[in-house]
Structures are given as C-alpha cells and as structure tokens.
A and B are shown apart, each in its own frame.
Chain A
Amino acid sequence: MWVGTPVIFTGLSLGSFYALIALGFSLILGIARAFNLAHGEMILLSGYLAFVLWHYFQVPFVFILLICSLVLVWVTIPLNYLLRRLPEPYGLNTLIVTLGLALLLQNLFLAWFSADYRLMTPAWPMVNVPWLNFSFPLHQGVLIVLALLVTGAVHLLLQGTFLGKALRATIQDREAAQMAGINVQRLSLAAFGLGGLLIGLAGPLFAQNMYLYPAAGVEATMIAIVVTIFAGLGRIRNILLGGWLLGLTQSATIFALGSRWRELVSAVLLLLLLYFRPQGFSLKKEG
C-alpha cells in the first residue's frame, strides 16, 4: 500500500466532517449576520446528548442523528430571538454574546460531564479495498458520503427552491433583499432552524470521530470560521472544497510533523485568509 493513501483518505474524511461542521455556521452568518462563537459548543451539546443516548439508552445511531438534529433546532431558534434584540454594533455584539454563551456551555459541560474525555465507539466494521490494499473503518467512509449528501441537499435547497432564492438574495445583499420585499426576519428564523438541524447532525459525528471534552468546541468553531471564510458566504460547494483542503492539510501536517501541530494548521490558515481578505466573509469589495 502506498503510504499516501491513508493520509489522503483520513484527510478527505476529516475534511468532509469539517464541511459538515461549517455548514450551519455559514448559513447562520450569511443570512442572519450573526457570528456564532458558541457554534462548537452547540455541536458538543449535541455530541454529549448523542453520547448519553448511546451509552445509557443504547439508541441506534440513525435515531441518535434524528433526535439530536431535532433537539438542536430547539436550541438555535431561541438563540435567533435572543440575538435579534442585540443593540448595535450588531456583528461585534453577536460575537461577544455568543462568546459568553460558549463559556456558559463549557462550564455546564464541566459540571455535568466533568473534564473527562469521552468517545462514542459503536462497533463499525472495517471496510477493505482490495485493489488499493487498504482498509478503513466504516464510520470514516460514512462521513464522506454524509457530507456529500448534506451539502448536495443544501445546495439544491438554495438553487432549486423559492425559499432558496430568497435565502441567496439575503446572503448577497441583505438591505436590497429587504427592499425587494423579502421578510429577512423570517428567513433568519429559517436559517437558525436549518443551522440547528445541521449542528445537531454534526454532534453525533463529532462524538464518534473526535473526543468529547468541555473545551473541545473551540477548535470546532475555529474550523467553521476558517472554512466559511475560505468558501465565501453562500458558496455551498466551496464549503465542501474548503473542508477537504483543511482536512488534507491537517492530515499531511500530522503525517509529517506529528499531531501536536494540528491545531496550529487551522489557526495559521485563518490568519493567512484574513491577511489576504481583510473584509472577511463579505462578498462585496470595499470602496
């Protein structure tokens, strides 16, 4: 077996997971203009819920996905109403408030689940690819398929439906959309709802592929930010691309330098992206 095969496979699978993490963040930011720094903690919330369902109630994985998605919608929708009341400057205030929310959730996790590392380890079989002489755990493959399915679905929603048209218009120019008679408030509710669904979906996958511990959400938030800035708002296909790129870069870095450098990869990529695109997520050029 060529040594690059597992590196690339792990990178793709990790990257697919990153795309799933970033989707909810990107939709909420694009449509509601809210920077959700508690994004990672919400994924952890869903992850801990999945862990409880799996560990104490032996719920099958498919149902765990379903339950977590539905529950998280009921977390993000109140958040929508909460953030809507924020005074100006709106963007910076959402950043500070959700940072506070992140801190709150981290400490709740600490109180409920202690600082222990937890992992959901259902018995997934290994899959063998004979012509590459390579085998991988099935749950890593599931990530790639799921990421393709979900980004495909969101892409179709945005491109093919009337709601999607309104959503895209709002992402591109919120003021113009409002003047064109689009109810931006209701769309931001839709964005938070959809975002919650995606966050809920990402939680069980997080519990399966990475360790759950109270401070684990910070990295997930950072990944969501990196991928979203890379993609630009409303570019769903780019999110998948960005996720893969980040996953492959990390996987290659770990292979070359060791796992301790992994967290630096997303941070450095974020700094580079911001250095060259100081207007950040915005699609409009300044001046």
Chain B
Amino acid sequence: MGKINSSQLAAAAGVLLLAVWPLIFRNQVQFHQVLGMTCLYAILALAWNIYALSGAISLGHTAFFGLGAYASALLNHHYHWSPLCTMPLGALAAVVFAVFWSLGFRRLRGVYLGLASLAAVEIPKTIVDNWDQLTYGSMGIVGLDRLPTLTIGGVEMDFGLNVTAQYYLLLGIMLLALLLHWKCIRSRWGWTLRVIRENETAAAALGIDSNRERAKALMLSSYLAGIAGALYAHIMGLVEPALVFNLHLSVLPLVFSIFGGSTMVFGPVLGALILYPLEQLFLMPLFPMGHSALYGLVIILTIFFFPKGIAAWLPAPPKSV
C-alpha cells in the first residue's frame, strides 16, 4: 500500500498549492474571497455529483442549497443558536426534501427526472416566498450571525470577517467533502452506484435495488448541498428566496462536474477551480453584465467535444479494483 503513484502525487501537490496560495498573494482580499467561494461551490458540485454517480442528472440542487440556507438562517434568527449548531441541523431540512423527492420521483429517469427536478424547486421557493410570518417572504432575513471566531492551536481564526481564515475553513470542508466523494467512487457502494449508472436492468439482475441506493446517494448529496447553503447564509449574513433558490445554483454544479469530469474523484473540484475564478477574476471586470455566459458556453463545448470532462485527459490512475 505504501506505493505512491503519479496521480496521488499530483493530488498532494494540488492540495499544497491550494493551502499556500493565499500566503503568496497576501493582502489580496478579493482574490481570497473568490477562492473561498470557489471552495463553497466546489462543495455544491461534489454534492451534485454524488447523485450524478447514480446516473441521475439533477436540475434542481438549488432546492437543497436554499433549504439548508433558510433552515440554518431561521434557527439562527428565531432561536439565536450559533451557526456551528444551526448549519449541521439546518442541512437536515434538505434531507427531508430529498426523502420526498426520492419517493415522488422513483419512477422517473433521465430527461424526465431532470425536468421534474427543475420544477420541484418551485415548491420550497414559493413556500419560503409566501410564508411571511416565518421567513419574511421575498424580503429575506438579514443580520444573521457570521461564522464564529475560534482559537485553533493557539491561533485565533475569525472565520466571519477575516477572508483568509474563511478561505481555509471552506478549503477544509471542501477537502472533507472530497474525501466523501472519493469514498462514493472507490468503495463497494461506489461500484454499486456505478453499476446503477451504467445499466439499471443489469443492476437489478445482480440483486441491487436501484431506487434505494439512488435515494441513499441523494440523502448524502442533499445534506452536503444543504451544508453549502448554510455556509453561504452565514458568510453573507443574509438569505433571500431569489438568492438561494436560483436556477444558476442548479446549473453551476452541473457545469463544474461535467466540465471537470463527472466520473472522476477530482472532476467537480477541478471544474470549480478553473471556471469560477476565471469568471470572477477575469470575465467580471471585462463584462460587468452577462459574464455568466461563460458557463453556458463551457457546457455546450464540453458535451460536444469532451463529454467525459477534462479530467479524462489526465493520466489515468491505476485500477483500484
């Protein structure tokens, strides 16, 4: 087991680069902020992809993101609990929605599942938008507690206001999500998902209950997406229906994952790391309006020219099975 191969080396180098980046570009606040958000959207992309590993293309992950954000925000606003406690609890709201999703959509596949997921977003969105007493409707909730300040190993880290500390927090959570994603590919259960993705009939002939395994994948996926949403709420300090239930948030993880390589462990992260900074740091100054056109263009080109994503161009890791 002690052998180290080239792809593990590349991964270690990549993580190291991500860790020292902010130290090289000191005092570049915007740069640190963008990198932090890159990690956040990479978490969302990893979440989306865990579901996609079972062969399901979702166009509705903003529902989980928004529910996580709102549930955490509501707990924080009404009960004044710390974000450390509201975020993991709030993300459970996304899992509850995932349970209904799995039950309601169990007979849907492919295109129809995509269409249904697109429409499903309207339900939590409209409820949040109209339940004025609880959610303040389309006004949203402002003044949420920021991420707390913690002392770790003698170093005081203000995750709420210091963008560099925030970046390291988001990087850490992203790496945890990556670990989970890795487990969802390289494990017995990961191969179960792959079997379902490649051929559901054959999967059933091997005794695999596709609906159950896919539902499990969605639970994990929705929880992670809910965590991303909750983080977003406390980083911004506010939630609004139009902000967290937004088609853009369903499309971003899809573009990142497919562009990066949806069947690869690092694919979704790679996609986020390339595209999001490109959009925010280079295109935004050039085109203040309409810079997100990049994602539309990228997904079209990806499907036509390299449908397996750019990770497929990397040297293949040795077979683990």
CB within 8 Å of B: which residues of A? Answer: 35, 85-87, 89, 91-93, 95-97, 99-111, 114-115, 215, 218, 222, 225, 260-261, 263-264, 266-268, 270-271, 274-275, 278-280
Contact = CB atoms under 8 A, between A and B. Distances in A.
A86 B296 contact: no
A270 B297 contact: no
Given A95-B114, A99-B59, A278-B107, A263 B297 contact: no
Interface stretch (B19-27, B220-228, B298-306): B298-306
Interface stretch (B8-16, B116-124, B267-275): B116-124
B247 interface: yes
A98 B110 CA distance: 15
Nearest to A96: B303
A278 B108 contact: yes
Contacts of A266: 119
Nearest to A85: B304
B297 A275 contact: no
Interface in B88-129: 104-105, 107-112, 114-116, 118-123, 126, 129
- 10 nearest A-B pairs in the assembled complex, by CB-CB distance: A104-B296, A111-B290, A103-B296, A267-B122, A107-B293, A100-B299, A107-B290, A278-B107, A267-B119, A100-B300
A267 B130 contact: no
A261 B296 contact: no
A235 to B, nearest CB: 18
B316 interface: no
B160 interface: no
B73 interface: no
Given A92-B114, A97-B303, A275 B290 contact: no
Contact of B111 (A106, A275, A280): A280
Interface residues of B, number: 43
Given A85-B304, A92-B111, A92-B114, 5 more contacts: A97-B300, A111-B290, A270-B119, A271-B119, A274-B116
A110 B288 CA distance: 10
Contacts of A92: 57, 110-111, 114
B258 A96 contact: yes
The interface centre, meaning the residue of A100, A106, A264 with most chain B CB atoms within 10 A of its CB, is A100
A279 B122 CA distance: 22
A91 B303 contact: no
Contacts of B254: 96, 99
Nearest to B108: A278
A146 B122 CA distance: 30
B307 interface: yes
Given A85-B304, A92-B114, A278-B107, A107 B122 contact: no
A94 to B, nearest CB: 8
A225 B115 contact: yes
B119 A111 contact: no
Given A100-B295, A100-B297, A261 B126 contact: yes
Contacts of B105: 274
B282 interface: no
B80 interface: no
B291 interface: yes
B189 interface: no
A270 B115 contact: yes
B292 interface: yes
Nearest to B242: A215
A92 B58 CA distance: 11
A107 B290 CA distance: 4
Contact of B122 (A106, A225, A264, A280): A264
A264 B296 contact: no
Contacts of B304: 85-86, 97
Nearest to A91: B111
Contact of B251 (A103, A215, A274): A103
Contacts of B307: 87, 93
Contacts of B118: 222
The interface centre, meaning the residue of A107, A114, A225, A261 with most chain B CB atoms within 10 A of its CB, is A107
B110 A263 contact: no
A267 B111 contact: no
A92 B299 CA distance: 13
B182 to A, nearest CB: 25
Interface string B121-142: 1110010011000000000000
Contacts of B289: 107, 110-111, 114-115
